Structure 1
Amino acid sequence: MTEPTWLTWAKELQALAQSGLAYCQDDYDIERFKRIRAISVEMLSQHTADLDQTTIHDLFASETGYVTPKVDVRAIVFQDDQLLMVQEKADGNWALPGGWGDIGLTPAEVAVKEVEEESGLEVKATRLLGVIDKKCHPHPPSAFHTYKILIQCDVVGGETKQGLETSDVGFFAEEQLPPLSVGRNTESQLRMIFDYWRDPERPAYFD
């Protein structure tokens, strides 16, 4: 596990507090769970100097109901042995097309939608490559516990063009990867994806 211990604790406290607030009815317990949630926000704010506590609370501790991991769907698209990537406007670096799962859409439908929105290409989902727990990989610290679903897709139409959240689109060989948006994908994950491209019979990866 590469996630810092303090972040693991903060997320566990937040999850306990949110689940407690979802189910408890005793006023004293409600106050205790609110305090636990506040402590989780304070812990996170100590390690993220660029964000104030109000912003952290909105991002990290404002949800209700039982806590479950967030789902990030990433599309894997190859053309002439090169991997499709998009340049993120948010940080100027490159990532696999994708984003948070959408209510009402299957993971495959999310992958297809994200590719079209971010790259202009029309694709068909064909193969599950893996389900990754973000905390087990060398991503930067994140307030959310996230599962990443990797879905291979084949191009069936469209033309490359930038999207609302992307400034460029390109296909890259394994030895010529661009600067990566490591919050979205890491070099080791992309190396694994190229291994899957070379071995169509390889079983899906999971953490």
Structure 2
Amino acid sequence: MPSDQELLRWSETLSAIARTGLGFTASLYEQERFQEVLSVAADMRATVEEGPSASEWLGEWMKSIGKGVPGYVTPKLAVGCVVGNDKGEILLVQRGDSGVWLYPTGWADVGYSPAEVVVKEVHEETGIHVEPVRIIAVIDGVRNQFTRVPLYSIVFHCRAIGGDLTPHPLECRDVGWFSRDALPQPLVGYDRWGPTAFDAIDGKPVDVTFDPPRTPVWRGGE
């Protein structure tokens, strides 16, 4: 029996295939078939989580369809940042929407490189100026259960170079520097990213973390 997480992945994949097809095809027959696939995907999505109905999901997805290349559906891109200071502490933010703690992260904005987004996001969320050092992770948010929105996250290790702690009035409830033995709670997914983050802050060599391919790629287990 597939898990809710697997059903969510299948629903989002079918939705992406159908919306991309609708964005490229001029055939009325193919448009009808893709709309049927999109309806099935909406039924699946409404089944696995509370919230919008299948018809509401279908309506939202139909409104998002573009023509040609702009209509090719891909995962969203987020950029995160593990920031350390001279004391070996990590910079964490308490998110305004959920109240959970995590390293600074945000959507990648058009017109900026990933490293530029990191510099901008960290300063906006925390008031701290940073210098990117290296990429330490590229992860699938849905696969790691960080989000139910299809996205990839590029996580940088950055060095603090100035600024004062100032939480963003809308996006953050609080911000702070924390040692590994005095971390705030609730802290999201620390077991998956925490050890690598502190190794990077301590100057140790770290391999870039990524999600290994399943075997086979689509239907394989973890």
TM-score, with length taken from structure 2 = 0.81
Q: Which whole-Å CA distance do the structure 2 matches of 1:104 and 1:181 have between them?
A: 31
1:193 is the counterpart of 2:193: no
For residues 17 and 3 of structure 1, do their structure 2 counterparts lie closer, same or farther at Cα, with a shift above 3 Å needed? same
Letter in 1 for 2:206: R
TM-fit CA distance, 1:34: 1.5
Matched, 1:34 2:41: no
The equivalent residue for 2:122 is: 115
**How far 1:51 sits from its partner (Å)?**
3.3
Structure 2: give runs of 5+ residues left out of the alignment. Answer: 66-70, 212-222
**Contact 2:141/2:147 (CA < 8 Å) preserved in 1?**
no
Higher relative contact order (CA 8 A, sep 6+): 1
The CA deviation at 1:180 is 3.9
**RMSD in angstroms over aligned alpha carbons?**
2.3
TM-score, normalised on structure 1?
0.87
SS in 2 for 1:6: helix
Are 2:135 and 1:128 equivalent residues in the alignment?
A: yes
**Contact kept in structure 2, 1:76 and 1:152, CA below 8 Å:** yes
Letter of the aligned partner of 1:20 in structure 2? G
CA distance in 2, matches of 1:189, 1:98: 13
> Given that residues 157 and 197 in structure 2 are in contact (C-alpha distance below 8 angstroms), is that contact kept between their aligned partners in structure 1?
no
Is the 8 Å Cα contact of residues 4 and 141 (structure 1) preserved in structure 2?
Answer: no
Deviates more, 1:171-180 or 1:28-37: 171-180
Aligned equivalents of 1:37 and 1:133: distance in 2? Answer: 23
Q: Name whichever of 165-174 and 111-120 sits farther off.
A: 165-174
Q: Aligned partner of 2:45: which letter? A: L
Match of 2:82 among 46, 58, 76: 76
Residue of structure 2 aligned with 1:204, choices 197, 204, 208: 208
| 1:175 shift after superposition | 2.9
Structure 1: which amino acid aligns with 2:192? S
- 53 and 3 in structure 1: CA distance in 2 versus 1, 3 angstrom threshold: closer
* Compared CA separation, residues 34 and 186, structure 1 to 2 (3 A): farther
Q: In 1, are the aligned partners of 2:101 and 2:184 still within 8 Å (CA)? A: yes
Residue 206 of structure 1, CA deviation: 2.3
Once the 2 structures are TM-superposed, how far is the Cα of residue 196 of structure 1 from its aligned partner?
A: 2.8
CA separation in 2, counterparts of 1:41 and 1:85? 36
In structure 1, give the amino acid aligned to 2:201: W
CA distance, structure 2, for counterparts of residue 3 and residue 197 of structure 1: 36
Give 1:107 shift: 0.6
Tell me the equivalent position of 1:156: 161
Once residues 36 and 81 of structure 1 are traced to their aligned partners in structure 2, the CA distance between those partners, rounded to angstroms, is 51
Task: Give the match's secondary structure for 2:29.
Answer: helix
Distance 1:51 1:148 in 2: 26
1:4 Cα deviation after fit: 2.0
Count how many residue pairs are aligned between Structure 1 and Structure 2: 202
Q: Report the Cα offset of residue 195 of structure 1.
A: 2.7
Deviation by residue 1:156-175 (Cα, 9 ceiling, x = unmatched): 22110110311111112223
Distance of aligned partners of 1:87 and 1:57 in 2 relative to their CA distance in 1, 3 Å threshold:
farther
Residues 204 and 70 of structure 1, relative CA distance in 2, 3 Å threshold = same
Q: Distance in 2 between matches of 1:3 and 1:187?
A: 22
Name the CA distance, whole Å, in 2 between partners of 1:133 and 1:60: 21
Q: 1: CA distance between counterparts of 2:103 and 2:62?
A: 28
Hey, what does 2:215 align to over in structure 1?
A: none
% same residue: 32
